[in-house]
Amino acid sequence: MLSRNKVSRNCSRTRITDASVAPFVDPAADLPDCISLDPLTEDSLLANLLSRFKSDHIYTYIGNILLSINPYKPLAQYTEQAIADYKLRTVAISQLPPHVYALADHAWRSLRDFYSDQVIVITGESGSGKTEASKLILQYLGFATGKSKELETVRQQLLLCNPVLEAFGNAKSLHNDNSSRFGKYIELEFDYKGEPVGGLITHYLLEKSRVTVQHPGERNFHIFFQLLAGADVQLLKSLKLQRNTENYLYLRNNHSNPSVWHQSDKDEFFNTKKALESVGFSAEDIVNIFRIVAAVLKLGNLIFTPVSNIDGTEGCSINNDYELEEVATLLMIPAEELRSALLYRTYSVSCSAMDAHGMAVGGGGGANCFSRDSTLPRDSTTSRTFLGNNHQSHSQPQQLLLQQRTSLLSTSASMVGRDMYQMMDGCHGSDVGFQAALASRAYQDAKDDFVMTDLSAAEATTGRDTLCKALYYRLFTWIINSINERIKVKQHGKRRILGVLDIYGFENLPVNGFEQLIINYCNEKLQHYVTEIVVKEEQEIYMQEGLEWSPILFPDNLAVCDLIEKHNLGLLAIMDEECQRSTNGSDDAFLSRVGQVFQDNIQIEVAWGLLSKNADSTAMNAFRLKHYAGWVTYNVAGFLQKNSDLLVRGLSQSMYQCAHPIVKELFPEGNPRRTTLRRPATSGTQFKMAIIALMRSLRSKNPHFVRCIKPNAFKQPHHFDVQTIQQQIRHLGLLETAQVKKNGFAFRQPYAWFLQRYKMLSTVTWPHWGGVAIEGAARLLRDLPISATEYAFGRRMLFIKNDSTLMQLEDFRRIRLNDLATLIQKTFRGWATRWLFFKRRQAQIKIAAAWRRYKARREYLELRQRRRMIEAVLVIERSYIQWKRRRYLNRLAIRLPSTSPTCREWPNVALFLRDTNQILKKLYHVWRCHRYRIGFDQIGRNRMREKVTASLLFRNRKESYARSVAHPFQGDYVRLRQNSQWRKLVNETSDQYIVFADIVSKITRSSGRLVPVLFVVSTSSMMILDQRTLNIKYRVPAADIVRISLSPFLDDIAVFHVKSFDNTSSSVANLQTGCLHFQQSSESSVLSPSFGNKWKGDLVLQTCHVIELVTKMFLVVQNAAGKAPEVNVHTDFEVSVGHQAVEFSFHCTGPTEVQPGHVRIVRRGYRLEVTL
């Protein structure tokens, strides 16, 4: 049992599965190259990968091989800056952090510098990140190469073909949400400068069975979901589609989160459509592609219902005709013709080539009298057969077809008997037997006849699925061919190729079929190729060259490759043999044949032979195959059908009759003019030939390897499953590879090639070396600052230990080539300069005298002309300046700005008139201010004076000032001037003009309470009156007010400090500052007698018009006393209460914005605290 232990390093969330990793985990081990491990064991290799994985270092080197662990999360190391860092590198690739960009850069530099074909082979299990690695490689090659405008289109097409291929060729599998369900080999072609000029895409065996059937938990190809999720309503309506995937039989196996996938598919649809447009597909082509995709979905919804014919045979009918009508509309084919192709099978009969004895002219197997799309029914009682003449098209109207069927049924007993069908089935593809049967039925004179039979519901369903798979597969092939036409090289000249191989990974599913066998066979070939190149051939070369070498054992999977592909005795050959059997070929027969051929082979186990080996490891009707990555069980159900994968000729012909421009190209065999009936190669054979051609292409190029590893089987980030990675290390032979790379050499070259490339680095070997190549190489290396331990001499080759040494040699060569180029340029320029000097010297002697005369005369004329021009310029300049001034003044007179003093607009002028413009601007502003002032009457002037005074007193000093700016000062808020009692009172006093009148709150001196009173300010005094009787309670002359105090806060409290005098003296000469008094004068008769001669002290008031009140009081006192009173704005000040001094203190504890009156006044002895 596996146990899960959390191992933390620097708060990492990486989980390590399997406690057995604990003894050898070294947190400090984080080496970018595994060959630096000492000792180099499986445990140390695994520990190094774990340490780097915890730090999100997913790339690790094994020499020049790159290991890539799928992080299952996005990483921030694929930016344009990262591409620039690796493109502009000046050190060896091993001295930079491992990265897929580094490998791509190394392959591109090798192609450019050594001018040899390169290939990047990406291998690994399904879900290990191969597709992403190939995309990153193409991304680097697209951005790192030059940016010339001519090649930008080619570069964009090469980059944007990936989204198209992923949409149509990738799907969600159990191991990968974006699994490639086809093999992809991209060949990028570069010119001599290393610039991409074109490319070619080769695909291998699309998993077309996924169109109709998917494993539980998997999805169909992305394009189906993208189209339904991302297409707009108008496009869906034109395609006869609905957005819900549950409406389509082929899409109902989706068990993932629909909302998450829907948004992702919607976004990817726009990317796919944009990529199709960028690659070069027209809008019409894109719509036609979507029509075929929609037709596949709609075909999958056809329901075939069994029908019993009148003669007792079995047929079928389509239950949902509306789906058929929509499919016919999408494919542009008559619905009845499509119905006939789906429900009936036509067998053509051509007996004109028979002789009198019923034999085919020209031999037994050369010409068939009866060519069929598939086997005839084995029982005449379960299916109806019709004979007819093919001179009339089988796509005739349904009514005529029914009449023909009825007439033929009436004579079917005499025309086609049961013995004829038995002879058909018994001949097993033999022309002789069937031709004899036809001859016995007197068909010698028939020409181009046909036999038509009904299909059962199961047969019609199978034919429909085969048509859907063929439609999608051929559409995929057409798209790739179209892309190849657009990205193919259009220039002539020598080119080099850089290939990128991204092929489906090794798979071991709960149920494995024909597709998994083909996929794993491909991975077996790739594993054999990598092992042979990296381990086997490397060691063989060391031993052939006479180097000291201890052989390293490695697993070889050649036996498994031969078991699958061996001619006549391999699995594929046995499968083809069974497919060629007309009636007896079956999956069970294939399994039996496999058991007989491989009964002694330990690499394979068949179901009936497992009792002595491992009875529980393989289900019945299956066989087990020991791959390099372990045992895999294959269920043989459907093997032969998927291998043959024949599309009946009737369906091909009906597809060829479609008016759809693309569908017609997809089925060329449906052309009735094509007479060849040769059976095409099986899928297995075609794939084997393609893989053989691929291996031949890979061996012709210099390889670079990316070995992809998945950290766990659950697609979870931060999860390092030791057992899973350990198995992959063993299956891929990474430990053996690391041992070979550590003990071996990174680079090898024949002596002649090495000397030819680097001979310029030594004066002895440059420019020509006349001796033996090995001696020249040795002499060259002795002249270079390279240690002797960094290279070794073989019999035919020179071996270089590290990539850094090779990089050093390349740097020396580049510097030397620059020096040589400089030398050549210098020599040529010296010779050319001397030759030109002597030629020009003679010409100079002849020209010099004439030239001097000409020059002197020319200078004289130029000076005279220059003087005339200067004079003219001065005249023009003066005139121009005068004209500019006049125009400026005229325009200014017309375009004077507003006469408002607040207007800041003023016309711009030329630079030389800037000073004049500023003076005029100031004069104009002074003038309009004067105009503005004289426009006021006396009341307006007084109000303006009050507002200006308030600004001078309280701006930036009192917080409540800003509130008063927008409100005009009204003065009389209680309409006291209209009061008759007041008019009677003012006749007895001198207070005739009211400056301010309002109900205010007087703060008592003893308790701090607020008492509402009528407060009046006249031009000579301030008074407190009774609100009801208007009797004067207090009257203070304006000249007696010496100071006004306020707080800086938002409160409405003001303190008026008045002069005070001695209470025992009636003399006004003994005034003292700080007391409110009752004045004995002639006015005493109108004052309230209850107060007598009692001093009250300073007056403390609260009013919502505090700014207006203080401002008006300030102006009244200034006019009455001849000097302005002091206005004190402070948080603490003293107030006189009788003969006592009380300190006022203001505190703001709440928010700054306080409503007027919301204050708390508390008296504490001689301190009055006001809290806001």
Greater model confidence, 901 or 880: 880
Q: Which two tokens stand for residue 705?
A: 């390897």
Residue 864 has a pLDDT of 93
Q: What is the pLDDT of residue 510?
A: 87
Number of H helices, E strands in the chain: 35, 37
Return the minimum-mean-pLDDT range out of 160-174, 536-550, 980-994. 980-994
Compute the distance between CA of residue 958 and CA of residue 960 in angstroms, rounded to an integer: 6
pLDDT at 92 over 90: no
Using alpha carbons, list the distances in angstroms from residue 1126 to 449, 1115, 1123: 127, 12, 9
Q: Is the peptide bond before 71 cis (omega within 30 degrees of 0)?
A: no
pLDDT of residue 390 exceeding 80: no
Amino acid at 881: I
Q: Which pLDDT score is estimated for 460?
A: 92
Q: 706, 121 in Cβ contact below 8 A?
A: yes
Pairing mode of beta strands 630-635, 170-171: unpaired
User: What pLDDT is stored for residue 70 in this prediction?
Assistant: 93
User: What is the tens place of the pLDDT at every residue in 585-643?
Assistant: 688 888 888 988 998 889 998 875 443 344 444 457 899 999 998 999 999 988 888 88
**Residue 1099: in which H helix or E strand, if any?**
strand 1099-1102
pLDDT 10s digits, 67-78: 999 999 999 889
Burial of 179 (0-12, 13-18, 19+ CB in 10 A): buried
Interstrand relation of 719-721 and 15-17 (parallel, antiparallel or unpaired): parallel
Question: Which residue in this structure is represented by tokens 């206005």?
Answer: 1127
Q: With 70 as the cut, is the pLDDT of residue 538 above it? A: yes
- What residue has token string 């589609």? 241
**Local structure of residue 190 (DSSP, 8 states):** E
Q: What's the pLDDT band for 238 if we cut at 50, 70, 90?
A: very high
CA distance 141 to 197: 12
135-164 average pLDDT score: 81
What contacts 674, CB < 8 A, 6 or more positions away?
A: 668
Lookup: tokens for 275: 């990529």
- What is the mean predicted confidence (pLDDT) over 208-222? 90
Distances (CA, A) of 651 to 316, 345, 391, 668: 17, 9, 19, 12
Whether 652 has a pLDDT exceeding 60, the answer reads yes
348, 677 Cβ separation under 8 angstroms: no
Residue 315 to residue 305: CA distance in whole angstroms: 9
Q: Which residue, 208, 206, 250, is CA-closest to 225?
A: 250
Burial class of 233 by CB neighbour count within 10 A (0 to 12, 13 to 18, 19+): exposed
**How many CB atoms are located within 10 Å of the residue 952 CB?**
12
Whether residue 439 is predicted with pLDDT greater than 90 in this model: the reply is no
pLDDT of residue 1157: 53
E strand intervals along 738-874: 747-750, 791-793, 797-800
Secondary element (H or E) of residue 907:
none
What does the DSSP 8-state code read for residue 973? S
> Smallest Cα–Cα separation from 1052: which of 968, 1146, 1136, 965?
1146
Token pair listed for 106: 């190394």
Pull the structure tokens for residue 634: 């294959």
Selection from 671, 684, 654, 493 nearest residue 576 by Cα: 684
Structure tokens at 63: 């020499």
Cα–Cα distance, 451 to 348 (Å, whole number): 6
Termini Cα distance of the chain: 74
* pLDDT (0 to 100) of residue 1143: 87
In the block, residue with structure tokens 């003893």:
1006
- Beta-strand ranges (E) seen in 466-582 are 496-502
Residues in CB range of 799: below 8 A, 6 or more apart: 545, 547, 745, 747, 748, 791, 792, 793
Quickly state the pLDDT bin for 117 (edges 50, 70, 90).
very high
The b/e string for 15-41 (b: 16+ C-beta within 10 A; e otherwise) is bbbbeebeeebeeeebebbbbebeebe
CA–CA distance, 612 with 335 (Å, rounded to integer): 58
The mean pLDDT value of the chain amounts to: 80
Check whether 530 has a pLDDT greater than 80: yes
Mean pLDDT of 876-893: 90
- 398, 336 in Cβ contact below 8 A? yes
Q: Which segments within 135-181 are labelled E, that is strand?
A: 170-171, 179-180
Torsion region of 284: left, alpha or beta (phi above 0 gives left; psi -120 to 50 gives alpha): alpha
- 700-735 pLDDT, tens digit per residue, is 999 999 999 999 988 899 899 999 999 999 999 999
Cβ atoms of residues 553 and 740 within 8 Å:
no
Write the pLDDT tens digit of every residue in 660-672.
999 999 998 888 8
Pairing mode, strands 1140-1147 and 1167-1171: parallel
**In one letter, which amino acid is 602?**
I
362 close to 353: Cβ distance less than 8 angstroms: yes
Give the number of C-alpha atoms closer than 13 A to the C-alpha of residue 591, restricted to the C-beta side.
24
**What does the angle CA 283 – CA 286 – CA 289 come to, to the nearest 5 degrees?**
150
pLDDT grade for 746, boundaries at 50, 70 and 90? confident
| Phi, psi torsion values for 1160, nearest 5 degrees | -125, 125
Looking at residue 94, its pLDDT comes to 67
DSSP letter, residue 383? S
Binning pLDDT at 50, 70 and 90, where does residue 48 land?
Answer: very high
| Distance from chain centroid for Cα 188 | 23
Whether 288 and 428 have beta carbons less than 8 Å apart is answered as no
Q: Contact at 8 Å (CB) between 327 and 449? A: no
For residue 771, what pLDDT is reported?
Answer: 87
Q: 1154, 1172 in Cβ contact below 8 A?
A: yes
Render pLDDT for 256-285 as a digit per residue (tens, 0 to 9): 555 556 678 899 999 999 999 988 899 999
Sheet with strand 385-389: strands edge to edge = 370-371, 344-349, 449-454, 385-389
pLDDT at 16: 67
Residue 874 CB neighbours (<10 A): 10
Specify the higher pLDDT residue, 276 or 357: 276
Residue ranges in 1100-1163 assigned as alpha helix (H): 1106-1121
Q: How far apart are the C-alpha atoms of 138 and 157, rounded to whole Å? A: 11
- The percent of residues in the chain predicted with pLDDT above 70, rounded, is 81
Q: Which two tokens stand for residue 378?
A: 């084995």
Q: Residue 1005: CB partners within 8 Å, gap ≥ 6?
A: 1096, 1097, 1100, 1137, 1138, 1142
Beta strands in 255-323 (DSSP E): 304-308, 314-318
Largest CA distance in the chain: 167
Closest by CA position to 126, among listed 798, 874, 713, 592: 713
pLDDT at 405: 40
- In angstroms, the CA 16 to CA 2 distance is 11
Closest CA to 159 of 146, 170, 143: 143
CA distance 140 to 161: 15
Alpha carbon distance 621, 307 (integer Å): 32
Average pLDDT for 695-703: 92
pLDDT digits (tens, 9 = 90+) for 462-496: 999 999 999 999 999 999 999 999 888 877 777 89
